[in-house]
Chains A and B, each alone.
Chain A
C-alpha cells in the first residue's frame, strides 16, 4: 500500500528520521485521499454552484476576449481556462456553443453589429481549432491510431450556409468519440459526388445554421440519398433546430437532433455513441 510513495519520500529526504518518514508519506497521502473523497461526497449542490460561478466568470472572460478589437488576449483567456480547470473538451462542448448563442442573441438585441458578431465568431472558431491542435489538445485527441473498422461520418454545411462553427464543434465531438470524420464545408455537388465515390461513410450529418438555409440542406440531403440509392442515413441538426418545428421533415433527413449520441445510434454506430448527451 503506497509503497512507492514511501520510497519516494525516502529518496526525497534521506535525513528523515528512519523508516518512519515513509510511513508519514503514506499517512499524508491517505489523509489527502480521504479529504478528496470527502470533498467529492459532501455538498454536491455547493460544488455545482461553484462550478456555475466559474463557468459564468469564464463566459464573461470569453465574451470580453471575443469583443476586443485588438485581437489580443488569447493568452490571458487560455490562462483563465487553466485556472477555471476547463479542459478543451469542456471548452468546445459547453462554452463555445454558449458563447455562440450569446453572440446570436447580441445581434438580435442590437447589442452587437453583424460585423462584431462575424469577428467574434471567427475568433471563437479559432479558439476551437487552438483547443483541438494546440497545447493541451492531447486530452481531446484520440489515444491511438484509428482502427480500420472505425466508423466514418461525413459532416457537412450545405450550400451558402456560412454558419460553420456548429459543424466544427460537432466534428471535434465525433473525433473525440473515435469516429473518423470528413468535414466538408459548402461543398459543390461535384465535390460531394467525388467524396462518395472515393470514400465510404457510415452516415452523414448536416448542420443547418438557420431557417433561411433549409433549401440548401434539403438539396444536400437529396443529393446524398440519390448518390447512395437511398441507403445513406442522414441526421440533421444545428441552430435551425431551435427555429424550425420539424427540421427532419423540412429537409428530408432521417433524424433531426442536436444530440450527438442519439445521432450516432440512429446511424447505427452504437458503440461510439455510448455516452450520449453532448450537443451538435
Chain B
C-alpha cells in the first residue's frame, strides 16, 4: 500500500514504517504506527491488509490469541491461496458487493486452509488438512482498492460444530448397524418355522412374535403384539406358566408347559426361557404343537397346490396394497404375460380396466367384509387387449402379512351372451337403470350427494389421520359443519 492518499496532515492516510504497513484513519490525530498496529491486532483476532492485487501485505495477529500461531508466511501470498475453494468464490462476491453504492461495512465468513498442515503432510492425505473459519469485516481504507480485513476467530464455534458432526456421524453409523441387525432379526423371525413369542416380564404383554407363532395362536401379528400373554392361553397349567412370567419359578430352566391357545383352541407346548436385554427381562416362549398335523392335512395341501398350478381359473395373491406376489399359469394365460417374473411386483391395478378405481373398490370392500364375489370387470392384457372377467376375492388376515387372494374367471363368453348386440354398455349402468324409475330424480341426487359427502369426509379424515380441524380445512368446511356431518353419517366415535 502506498503512503499518502488524498488527505493532508492529520487526515486519513496509510503509513509505511520499518517495512510494516499500517494505517491511520479519519480526522483524528495521527497515531503512532506502533500503537495503531497494536490497536488493530488487539481489536480483532486477526487483521489482514490486502492490496489491490489481492495479495496479503500485512498480517497482524492478536498476541493474546493462542490458536493462530505464526502466520507470517501469509505475507506476500495471494489471498486466494489461503482460502478454501468455496470461500474464494464467496470472497469475490462480497468484494463485488463492496463496490456498490450505499453498502456499508460488509461481514463475511471465510474458511482458511491451514498451510502448516500442507507442509507437514501431503495435501492428498485424507486427514492431513483442515480448515478454520474466520468472520471478517471488510473495510476499504484508501483509493487504491486496498482492503483491511478485521477477523474474529470462529474456531471455538467450529469445535462445537465438529462435535455435532462427529455425533451425527456416530448416529448414522449406529442407525446403519441397527438396520443391519434389525434385518437379520426380521429375516430370522419371518423365515423361522418354529413359533416364537417374546414377552416382556415387566408388563406381561407380547412384545414380538413371528408369523409361525401368530398362526399357532390364531391371530394376526398386529393384533397379538401388545396383547396380554396370559389372556392368550387357557388350560390347567396356565398358573404355572404365569409363575414363570412373574419370575416366581426362579431361574431354573423349565420343561414345556401344555396350554391351549385361546383364539385357535390349539393345544401347544410352551417352553419359556428368561433372558435380560438392556435391563429388560424378557421371556422367550417357544411354541410346539401338542399334536401332529393329520395326514389329511397333507393331502389337502397337495390338492391345493395342484389346483393352483393346473386349475382353469386364474389365481392371484397380492399384498394389502394390491401388489402381485404370485399368480398361477391360468392368470398368465388370461393376461398374455410371458412368465411369472413379469407379473410379480406389479400392481393388480395395471391389469384392471378401470385401474386404481377397480383396485380401490376391491381392496376397500374385501378388507371390510373379508370376501367379495362376482365382481365383474375387464382385464387388460400385456398387449393392450381386454377380456371380461369375474373376480372372487378373499382377504386372508390371520397372519402378520395379510394376503388378498383373487380367483379370476374368464367371463367373455357369458358376457357375449348377456350383452345386447347394439352396443357396449357399462355393467354398472344396469344398476342405474334399476334405480331410475324406482325413485325420483330428486331422491337419487340427494342420496348420491350423501354418499359422496360421506366418502369425501372419510377420505379427508384418513388423509389427516383423523385430525378433524385439518379435515375441515381440507374440505373447506367450518368445524361445526364437519361435526354436524360426522354425526349425520355416524362417523363420530361414541366417546366424542
CB pair B447 A168 closer than 8 Å: no
Interface residues of B (CB under 8 A from A): 84-86, 89-90, 93-94, 107-109, 111, 123-127, 130-131, 133, 135, 154, 157-158, 160-161, 164-165, 168-169, 172-173, 175-176, 186-187, 190-191, 319, 321, 323, 325, 345, 354, 357, 361-362, 364-366, 368-369, 372-377, 426-428, 431-432, 434-435, 438-439, 443-444, 447-449, 451-452, 455-456, 463-465, 467, 470, 473-474, 490
A160 B133 Cβ-Cβ under 8 A: no
Any B CB within 8 A of the CB of A5: yes
How many chain A residues have a CB neighbour from B under 8 Å? 67
Inter-chain contact B455/A164, CB cutoff 8 Å: no
A-B contact list, 24 entries, CB within 8 Å: A1-B377, A1-B428, A3-B372, A3-B376, A4-B366, A8-B365, A16-B447, A21-B447, A25-B451, A27-B435, A28-B447, A28-B449, A29-B451, A79-B470, A83-B470, A83-B474, A107-B90, A110-B108, A114-B158, A115-B154, A119-B164, A182-B176, A211-B85, A212-B131
Contact between A24 and B451, CB atoms less than 8 A apart: yes
Query: CB-CB < 8 A to B455: which residues of A?
Result: 28-29, 32
Tell me whether A29 and B361 are in contact (CB under 8 A).
Answer: yes
Query: A4-B366, A24-B448, A79-B470 are known contacts. Are A122 and B164 too (CB-CB below 8 A)?
Result: yes
| Assembly CA distance A113 to B94 (angstroms) | 15
B126 x A26 contact (CB < 8 A): no
Also in contact, A122 and B369, with CB within 8 A (given A27-B448, A212-B85, A215-B123): no
Take A4-B365, A83-B464 as given contacts and tell me if A183 and B172 are in contact as well, using a CB distance cutoff of 8 Å. yes
Contact B427 A79 (CB under 8 A): no
Chain A residues closer than 8 Å to B187, beta-carbon distance: 145
CB-contacts of A145-162 with B (<8 A):
145, 158-160, 162
Q: Is the CB of A22 within 8 A of B109?
A: no
Selected from A18, A160, A215, the residue in CB contact (under 8 A) with B124 is: A215
| Contact status B365-A5, CB under 8 Å | yes
Contact B164 A219 (CB under 8 A): no
Task: Name the CB-closest residue of B to A3.
Answer: B375
Q: A16-B447, A27-B448 are in contact. List 14 more A-B contacts (CB 8 A).
A: A1-B377, A2-B361, A2-B431, A4-B372, A17-B443, A20-B438, A20-B439, A30-B428, A114-B157, A118-B161, A143-B323, A185-B172, A210-B86, A212-B84
* Cα–Cα, bound, A182→B455 (Å): 44
**In this complex, what residue of A is CB-closest to B464?**
A82
Asked if B164 and A118 make an inter-chain contact with CB atoms under 8 angstroms apart, the answer reads yes
A33 to B434, Cβ gap below 8 A? no
Q: Quick check: A4 and B435 within 8 Å, CB to CB?
A: no
Segment 1-15 of A: residues with Cβ below 8 Å from B = 1-9, 11-12
Secondary structure call for the A interface: helix
Query: Is there an interface contact between B444 and A24, defined as CB atoms closer than 8 Å?
Result: yes
A31 at the interface (CB under 8 A from B): yes
Q: Tell me the bound Cα distance from A20 to B439 in angstroms.
A: 8
- Please state if B90 and A108 are interface contacts (CB–CB under 8 Å): yes
Option from B357, B373, B434, B465 in Cβ contact (under 8 Å) with A82: B465
| CB-based contact B169/A185 at 8 Å | yes
**Smallest CB-CB A-B distances: 9 pairs:** A4-B365, A159-B126, A28-B451, A1-B428, A1-B427, A23-B435, A24-B447, A23-B431, A211-B85
**Neighbouring A residues of B172 by C-beta, 8 Å:** 125, 164, 168, 183, 185
Q: B391: shortest Cβ distance to chain A, in Å?
A: 10
Q: A33-B357, A82-B465 are in contact. Are A27 and B434 (CB under 8 A)?
A: no
**Contact pick for A24, options B86, B107, B368, B435, CB 8 Å:** B435
Confirm or deny: A186 has a beta carbon within 8 angstroms of a beta carbon on chain B: yes
- On whether the beta carbons of A5 and B361 are closer than 8 Å, the reply is yes
Instruction: List which A216-268 residues lie within 8 A (CB) of chain B.
Output: 216, 218-219, 243
Residues of B within 8 A of A33 (CB): 354, 357
The answer to whether B109 touches A28 (Cβ under 8 A) is: no
Q: Which of B175, B365, B443 contacts A129 (CB 8 A)?
A: B175
Residues of A within 8 A of B448 (CB): 24, 27-28, 31
Is A4 within 8 A of B444, CB to CB?
no
Residues of chain A with a CB closer than 8 A to B186's CB = 145
